[in-house]
Structure 1
Amino acid sequence: MRRDVMRVLGLWRGHAGWLLAGVAVAVVSALAGVALLVLAARVISGAVAQGQGGAVALTGFGFTALLWLRPVMLFRPVARYLERLVTHEATFRALAMMRVWFFTRLAQRLPAGLGLRRAGDLLGRLVADVEALDGLYLRVIVPGAASLAVVLTLALMVGAAQPGLAAILALPLAAALALPVLLAPAAARAGTHVAEAQGALRSAVVEPLTGLEDTLAANGEALAGRRVAAEGGALARAQSALARRAAWGGAMGSLLTQVALLGSVAWALSTREQALAVGLMAIFLAIAAAEALGLMPRAGAALAAAAAAAHRLFEAADTPEPVPDPAVPAAPPKGHALRLSGVTFAWAPDRPAVFDGLDLDVPEGARIALLGPSGTGKSTLAALLLKFAAPQAGLITLGGVEIATLAASELRRRVAWLTQDARLFDDTIAANLRLAAPEASDAALWQALDRAQVGDVVRGLPEGLETVCGEAGGRFSGGQTRRIALARTLLSPAPVLILDEPAAGLDADTERAFLATLDEATAGRTVILILHRLIGVERPTRILRLVGGRAIPATG
């Protein structure tokens, strides 16, 4: 637990200024509360000492305390406001950084897709687990620092006059301050169960909704509902267990602060009259400490939840990269001819080889049609060419440079891939296109759409490029979606294009029209066209067939 928490704090170093400022403001706010009650104690003890009920008779320290009381009363709410403002700003900045960091790590480690990871679970980690980290700062570090400052101030102020009273007052409060840390390891197990149950519930909800048509077609909504109910019940039980631990911590913390207060009252009642001012100050300080420590009972549960969330984040983020970049990348190649020499590859040691000594030359400007039924490795070849996976043997070169020595970002600037299930995201057409070229002008977007022969369709829309595509491009037909995805690929400056089943899912007429578009749209680039079969409109310069893990010239 401690290792995960310290790693989170290390990642937050870039926002250390805001985080430390929030802690400082919280400490000042807490000490302002202490000062307010100390001044009140001075005023009351001064009035009692003179036997007067009104403040007009106050002299000496009592009168000075009365003068300071009003400005401190005005400063306290200002300090509390600044505390909320600065600590929440610091938290928002730190959590935003964590989301970007986690997404970047996932992108590096899941280039070929989610694989065996569940979308709902990863969504939970990106959203709920990152959100849980706010408790580490707002409910542990900030109140902990403020409470520590109050307890130390209390011990120093009272200890200077009455060391025995300081011990009566400070020891229970110090125990209450340490209580969350002592209880956190046990609460961490409950926090882990909550985090896991949240991930399972999100998966139970997201997966049936993502494939809702299949769920309904199979009459599986009742089964999906039962699964959601079961996971919801498991989450409720886990949250109840964590809440019980938090309640016990809160009860013990309250008991310790009450012990300090009652001890101060008992000492004040038994003390001599000349020490009455110290006794009253101790009582008021105990009240101030109780206020500062009031947030600490939740700190143990918050620390446990944050540690469990951090562990889940790091568990996913630390998945080994399938093809890590070299420590010192080679210089980018000047050419873009592709060559595979003796490539052997299997997705796992216990699975059969997809390629066994594959040799393939793709000269600059070539238009290769690569044919074969499902399972022969056509899409696997694309994954190898973009370093989504690495061969177990053999070499792959681009412009004479082995791609294993190139940075993935440099390689993917030269090789673009229109995947078999290319998606449009629930954003505008312009935003979808600019995934391939973030700085592209509107004119460049229209040119790409026209080359994909879908520009007129977009011009006919009321909002044009600002039209929202909908989830998975639901705003458009299958053919229109594929053409917009093709336009995105064409917008890339990459000289090599891999088009993986570009007409998948289209009807025969739409398929012919779409494939006929490719010859003109991809002119001047190297093209690897991955298909189940040719229909006569593709115009490749070379046709190969994948058979037994090797590429052989197609016959007939």
Structure 2
Amino acid sequence: MTDSVLAPLLRVILIWRRQAPAIVFGALVALASLAAGIALMAAAGHYIAAAALGITLAVPVALEVTGVARVVLRYLERLTTHDATFRALAALRLWFYRGLARSAAGGLGFRRSGDVLARLVNDIEALDGVLLRLLIPLLGAAMLVPALLVAVGRDDDTAAALVLVLFAVVAFVMPWRAMLAARAAAADETEAGGALRVSVLDTLTGLREIKVYEAEGRMLAGVQWQESRLFRAERDLAARGGALQGLAFLATQAALLAVLLIHGANPVAVVVAVFVVVAAFEVVGGMPRAGVTAGRASAAASRVLQAAEAEPRVRDPARPAPMPGSNALAFEHVAFRWTPEGQAVFEDLSLDIPAGSRIAVLGPSGAGKSTLAALALKLVSPDEGQIRLGGTDIATLRSADVRRRIAWLSQTTHLFADTIRNNLLIGRDDADDDALWAALEAARIADMVRALPDGLEAWVGEQGSQFSGGQGRRLALARTLLSPAPILILDEPCSGLDLETERAFLATLNNTLEGRTVLMITHRLTGVERLDRVYRLQNGRLTPAAR
């Protein structure tokens, strides 16, 4: 149980090693601020006790110095520790995104976008408490042990032992027990939070269909159920934290009572001890609740690591073969299924695509046409058989090298909520304005872009909402044409277009793809395509088809 709680947190802390200088500096400033605060309380206790006994003292220099130091260091502590936390979380998000991209190069696959978003936002934000509310307070608690020993132990060993035991219980034992106890409840909370985000996202994205079928009540009930599940988990965690905070308060009062019952000590020493004990227990008073935070952070870390460290479907070879000179593509006796228990997509599929040729593959929805693109792009690997690029098995080539040779226009091309320029630059990030306009001209959409007030800087909108379906497909085509890849896979390139727009779009393709190898994957032909060969995909096999 202990390993399962600590291991995810330690793994995340290791990811932060590049931020170690900022984290260490922030921790040192926090400890210096804490030391100044304890020294200030001790000096204040000494001064107040002396005044109460009628001893006239000038305001000690220590009081002035520690007071100013406390204010300055406290301010610097906030700056440095929060800066270190923000840097660590930013690094963790980048690490998470890279891991997700590596393990899901073909998209999210069987992951749900709302769940991934919850891990990227909620779970990573839950880890900010690891630094600010757990690690730094633990270091401070360790530093306070000798301070308590000096303040209380010089006059009464028994009282000192009791105070130190109570302090250790509040600062170390309670947080540890809280973390272990809260781990399961925290896992329920993070799962419930992710499920709620998925439910809300599904409801918002499907709002049109919900309205048409008058399903608002059913969808709202589902969201409310997930919300109540989250509230129950949060209430459980809050109850655990509240109970421990009550015990921590009782421990603090018992420590103060032990100090007040010190016998044989001079009154000034007792007052100083009281001030130091109050300050020390105030510092660690929130540690039991921090233990609950640690349990929540452990559950969040597990979810983040699970998503980011998933094994990629296709691994690159340790010693990749050199890229071939030819751009011919061939599928040789390929068998494939998406899951071991799933239905076979291909059983013995062979397809030869010579360099510079134009090949079409026809088939109904679900026949496996898009799987051909995934296999060619090395997003998945065949269970049997080989896919060859220029005569070389792509299993022996680096995935990045293969994808530099093959451009892809998918049936659900995504336009990002950004400018036209930045959407195009995804195809080639070093393209200048001349190259961008040339691609737009080739896609027959340059005139429309020029007519926009902002031109290339025009905002595309979420999911390309500022443009019609045909305009969006042409922008996606321009992005694909901008790629220098000699092989182009068109996966249902006219999906969602009306017949007139589809014919115009295909005419554009005919005129702009000269010299490239083209594999067109579609469910039907319109008769305007320029093709060398046509195949029909049925029951996992390809057979020549007449146009």
* TM-score calculated relative to the size of structure 2: 0.95
Rounded to whole Å, the distance in 1 between the matches of 2:273 and 2:154 is: 12
Counterparts of 1:383-394 in structure 2 under 5 Å?
383-394=374-385
Instruction: Tell me by how many angstroms 1:14 deviates.
Output: 1.4
Evaluate the alpha carbon distance shift between residue 548 and residue 226 of structure 1 in structure 2; reply closer, same or farther with a 3 A threshold: closer
**Kept in 1: contact 2:507–2:528 (CA 8 A):** yes
Pairing 1:21–2:15 present:
no
Pairing 1:475–2:466 present:
yes
- Farther-moved stretch of structure 1 (508-517 vs 178-187): 178-187
Counterparts of 1:284-295 in structure 2 under 5 Å?
284-295=275-286
The equivalent of 2:192 in structure 1 is 197
Counterparts of 1:98-497 in structure 2 under 5 Å?
98-159=92-153, 162-178=156-172, 179-267=174-262, 270-273=263-266, 276-497=267-488
**Kept in 2: contact 1:424–1:485 (CA 8 A):** yes
1:397 match: secondary structure: strand
Rounded to whole Å, the distance in 1 between the matches of 2:441 and 2:157 is: 85
2:413 match: secondary structure: coil
Instruction: Tell me by how many angstroms 1:128 deviates.
Output: 0.2
Instruction: Tell me by how many angstroms 1:156 deviates.
Output: 4.3
70, 77, 90: which one aligns with 2:71:
77
Counterparts of 1:492-511 in structure 2 under 5 Å?
492-511=483-502
Rounded to whole Å, the distance in 2 between the matches of 1:348 and 1:44 is: 75
Instruction: Tell me by how many angstroms 1:555 deviates.
Output: 2.0
What amino acid does structure 1 have at the position aligned with 2:480? T
**Kept in 1: contact 2:50–2:56 (CA 8 A):** no
**Kept in 2: contact 1:150–1:292 (CA 8 A):** no
The equivalent of 1:3 in structure 2 is 7
Rounded to whole Å, the distance in 2 between the matches of 1:28 and 1:447 is: 61
496, 513, 523: which one aligns with 1:522:
513
* TM-score calculated relative to the size of structure 1: 0.94
Give the gaps of 5 or more residues in structure 2.
none
- Farther-moved stretch of structure 1 (491-500 vs 148-157): 148-157
Instruction: Tell me by how many angstroms 1:526 deviates.
Output: 1.2
**Kept in 1: contact 2:335–2:349 (CA 8 A):** yes
CA displacement 1:441-467 (0-9 Å, x = unmatched): 222222111111111111111111122
Rounded to whole Å, the distance in 1 between the matches of 2:378 and 2:502 is: 29
Share of identical aligned residues, percent? 46
Give the gaps of 5 or more residues in structure 1.
57-62
1:55 match: secondary structure: coil
Rounded to whole Å, the distance in 2 between the matches of 1:127 and 1:85 is: 23
CA displacement 1:355-378 (0-9 Å, x = unmatched): 222222222211112222222221
Pairing 1:93–2:97 present:
no
Evaluate the alpha carbon distance shift between residue 54 and residue 326 of structure 1 in structure 2; reply closer, same or farther with a 3 A threshold: same
Instruction: Tell me by how many angstroms 1:161 deviates.
Output: 5.7
- Farther-moved stretch of structure 1 (154-163 vs 326-335): 154-163
2:162 match: secondary structure: helix
CA displacement 1:414-446 (0-9 Å, x = unmatched): 111111111111111111111222222222222
CA displacement 1:79-117 (0-9 Å, x = unmatched): 111111111111111111111111222222223333332
What amino acid does structure 2 have at the position aligned with 1:192? A
Report the RMSD for the aligned CA atoms in angstroms: 1.8
What amino acid does structure 1 have at the position aligned with 2:485? A
538, 543, 547: which one aligns with 1:552:
543
What amino acid does structure 1 have at the position aligned with 2:356? G
Instruction: Tell me by how many angstroms 1:240 deviates.
Output: 0.7
Instruction: Tell me by how many angstroms 1:531 deviates.
Output: 1.8
Instruction: Tell me by how many angstroms 1:47 deviates.
Output: 4.9
**Kept in 1: contact 2:178–2:241 (CA 8 A):** no
Instruction: Tell me by how many angstroms 1:52 deviates.
Output: 3.1
Rounded to whole Å, the distance in 2 between the matches of 1:102 and 1:3 is: 17
CA displacement 1:121-180 (0-9 Å, x = unmatched): 111111000000001111111222122212333224544564334213222111101111
Rounded to whole Å, the distance in 2 between the matches of 1:533 and 1:272 is: 97
Rounded to whole Å, the distance in 1 between the matches of 2:500 and 2:129 is: 57
Evaluate the alpha carbon distance shift between residue 293 and residue 529 of structure 1 in structure 2; reply closer, same or farther with a 3 A threshold: same
Rounded to whole Å, the distance in 2 between the matches of 1:261 and 1:334 is: 82
**Kept in 2: contact 1:415–1:494 (CA 8 A):** yes
Evaluate the alpha carbon distance shift between residue 249 and residue 334 of structure 1 in structure 2; reply closer, same or farther with a 3 A threshold: farther
The equivalent of 2:56 in structure 1 is 54
What amino acid does structure 2 have at the position aligned with 1:115? G
Evaluate the alpha carbon distance shift between residue 397 and residue 260 of structure 1 in structure 2; reply closer, same or farther with a 3 A threshold: same
